[in-house]
Structure 1
Amino acid sequence: MDLEHRIEEAILISDVCDIVSHHAEKHFKVFITYVINQVYQEKTYRRILEENQAFRETMAALEKHPCVRGLSFTSFLILPFQRITRLKLLVQNILKTAEEHSERETNAIKAHQQLEQIVQECNEGVRKMSRTEELISIEKTLEFKSKSVPIISHSRWLLKKGEVQLMCGPKSTRTMRSRKLYQPVCLFLFNNLLLITKRSGDKFQVLDSCTRAMLRTEDLEDQGQQLAFVFNLKMLENQEDRTVTYMIKTSSTSDKLRWICALTPNRRTRFTSAGSQQSDSPQVQCIQSYTAQESDEISIEMADVLNLLERTNDGWMMGERLHDGEKGWFPSRVVEEIHSKEVRAQNLREAYRVQQAHDSGGGPQVGSKSGIRAGRRVGKGLDFSSRWSESVGDSSEGTQ
């Protein structure tokens, strides 16, 4: 109604951010509860579909109705919060063009702060619930031979899990000619803990563990097929309070580098982080949407701009998204490099201005899946879309 009244006053709307700010403060908190519980909505819906044939047939008939435009029921469940993220994108683009120190800029900054806070609380709520469920599931599969390590903690979450080859251990006497040169193991890397495990049926036997802060890695040059894609993993203090070194063999160059970066995140990357605000740092822009397949990857959308941090020779890059600082790996085929130094500098200025607007609200910025796409490219138009609509599609907006 407020927006309709504004249009009645003048067909050329002077501002909308003040309206957005008012409603965000008074009415939008309900979206936090809605989004946090959305995963249970979907689980309940899927369970009823499996158990109730009449319900399944009714829903199938409804989804075929012309008014639905071919969208699934779950598409409509995501629509409420999708509106919030699109409002945030609108406000952010208004902020980019608003005159500095003007009333329009003040309104945009206030609206952006309130929308950002809502998005962050939604993301954090969903993240905490999913992390706790994941820890409970992992703990049920672990078997400790000696010293047991408590897994479930509010301050712990899984960063990366995967199988590698353990080529030698602290007590190994194997030689290069041994038939048992290496054995398959599974690494569970949490934000503050590493477990080296061995699969045994549906269970994982914990062979060794170490706090993440006490890990060190050393990249080794490839030396033939048997020693290709290898790095040293050093535990300064393992579960037996000893210093041990393991030789880890991975499946590819990118897999090796991804494990090294995950295990020791404070190591220097090949290129400069976006936080340095250097215009000559390499930048890439997304030309094809990509959804993360692994926990150390990042989902990116068309027009996302990222500072390039690492690049492998087998088609992978690690980048830091300008608008929220989120880092992760992605295929090099879904991005193109920004060669213009002027465009790179402009991207940093726009991201910095939005970051200043957010920081003035006093809250730390958390990498969220629905954020601002700061960035410019030459030759192709920008395509802004909500990250929360990955499984929905932009056409779902037309149902409202």
Structure 2
Amino acid sequence: MFELIGSEASYLRSLRVAVNHFYASAELKETLSKREHHVLFSNSRVVMAASEKFLMDLEMRLGERVLMSQVGDIVLQNCPEFYRLYVPYVTNMMYQEALVNQLLQQNRDFLSSVKKLENDPVCQRQSLKSFLVLPFQRITRMKLILESILKLTEPGSASILNLEKAIEAIHEIVTECDKGVQNMKQIEELVSLQMLMDFGKVKSVPLVVRGRFLVHHGPMRQLTLEAAHSSRISFISVYLHLFNDLLIISSKKYFLQPAIINHCFSSSKTYSDGMLFHLLYKKNDDPNWLSEHFQFYCVKH
């Protein structure tokens, strides 16, 4: 029980350094745009406020009884606020980390200001990055602490049920944090691909769609009959981008820029190990360029 209180108090002290020392620094703020400052510190102030409330609740319970036997209910009461604050903070960390690295390399004023702040004794030789990652570390560690408390709780104790519920609630928050990070990575990947792809005369398809993600991509060779009544075949190098609901076939017309040849959406019928696609393609031997229906099955590896 005391580990939960002690670790929360330590976490809060570090959060106060992040907010009151770095976030509140006028000198540091002058080196950043409003957007950069927001991405860098996200909702750290309200995360700190939530930690203050949680610690106060724990200390009040400790004041009521020195031998604390119930903490699960306190965690459960604070979980809705944890969920509301920690999920967006952790989701933003991908952009946060990228921005910090970019600023340290490209913004001399930012670098100078950060170094000056980090050299202050209040930081105890910790870097800005170490303070920014604290919320993610805390929410994951809290689950481990609660699991340890549960193991030490006597079987049949009235506190077990709330502890189990609290562990499940924290686990859900951690899971949603992971999902948020993964979703942001997938969106970034789609945005990058959208900027690279050259649809040319092929009808363009918006790649950045809710729920879409890249499953696999790589080069393939397309087999082609050289004539309608000939057994001679040739191969054309193509490149596939397989999404969960879309397949794009392209050629590398330019350096690292796919020139789209064709694309198709998956059928409504999907399988546990792959997806069935339907594609309209043009027959090379048909002078009228009639489209013929073709279907194939993409297998996941």
Q: Quick check: TM above 0.5?
A: yes
1:30 aligns with 2:85: yes
Alignment partners' CA distance in 2, 1:73 and 1:188: 39
Counterpart CA distance in 2 for 1:93 and 1:47 is 39
What corresponds to 1:18 in structure 2? 73
Aligned residues: 231
| Aligned position for 1:237 | 278
Q: Which residue, 216, 223, 228 being the options, matches 1:160?
A: 216
Query: 2:81 & 2:202 partners in 1: Cα distance?
Result: 55
> Residue 261 of structure 1 aligns with which residue?
300
- Please, which runs of 5 or more residues in structure 1 have no aligned partner? 219-232, 247-258, 263-400
Paired amino acid for 1:2: D
Report the alpha carbon displacement of residue 199 of structure 1 after superposing the two structures with TM: 1.6
Name the counterpart of 2:48: none
Kindly provide the CA deviation profile for residues 167-205 of structure 1, in whole angstroms up to 9, marking residues without a partner as x.
Answer: x435468x9x99x7663x432121112223222223102
Output the CA distance in 2 between the equivalents of 1:245 and 1:32: 40
Which whole-Å deviations, capped at 9, do the CAs of 1:287-332 have from their partners, x for residues lacking one? xxxxxxxxxxxxxxxxxxxxxxxxxxxxxxxxxxxxxxxxxxxxxx
1:243 is paired with a residue of what secondary structure? strand
Aligned counterparts of 1:172 and 1:150: Cα–Cα separation in 2: 34
Partner of 2:114: 59
Larger radius of gyration: 2
Shift in alpha-carbon separation, 1:115–1:203, aligned structure 2, 3 A? same
Of 119, 129, 141, 1:86 maps to: 141
C-alpha distance in structure 2 between counterparts of 1:58 and 1:98, whole Å? 48
1:137 corresponds to which residue?
A: 192
Q: Residue 202 of structure 2: SS of its match in structure 1?
A: coil
Q: Which of the numbers 249, 261, 268 marks the counterpart of 1:207?
A: 261
Are 2:266 and 2:278, in contact at CA under 8 Å, matched by a contact in 1?
Answer: no
Alpha-carbon distance change, 191 to 61 in structure 1, aligned in 2, over 3 angstroms? same
1:74-223 map, 5 Å: 74-94=129-149, 103-144=158-199, 145-161=201-217, 163-166=218-221, 168-169=222-223, 171=225, 183=237, 185-200=238-253, 201-213=255-267
Kindly tell me: are residues 49 and 12 of structure 1, through their superposed partners in 2, closer, same or farther at Cα, counting changes over 3 Å? same
Structure number having the greater helix percentage = 2
Contact conserved, 2:250 with 2:261, CA < 8 A, in 1? yes
Deviation, 1:29, is: 2.4
1:210-359 paired onto structure 2 within 5 Å: 210-213=264-267, 237-240=278-281, 242-243=293-294, 260-262=299-301
Native 8 Å contact 2:212 2:243 kept in 1: yes
Secondary structure of the structure 1 residue equivalent to 2:188: helix
TM-score normalised according to structure 1 size:
0.46
Which stretch of structure 1 is more off in the superposition, 117-126 or 73-82? 117-126
Q: Structure 2: which 5+ residue stretches go unaligned?
A: 1-55, 282-291
1:24 is matched by which residue type in structure 2? C
Which amino acid is 1:59 matched to? Answer: V
Equivalents in 1 of 2:122, 2:158: separation in Å? 42
Deviation at 1:154, TM superposition (A): 0.9
Secondary structure of the residue that 1:242 maps to in structure 2? strand
CA distance 1:136–1:234, change in 2 (3 Å): closer
Is the contact between residue 146 and residue 167 of structure 2 (CA under 8 Å) also seen in structure 1? yes
Structure 1 residues 98 and 159: alpha-carbon distance in aligned structure 2, compared to 1, 3 A threshold = farther
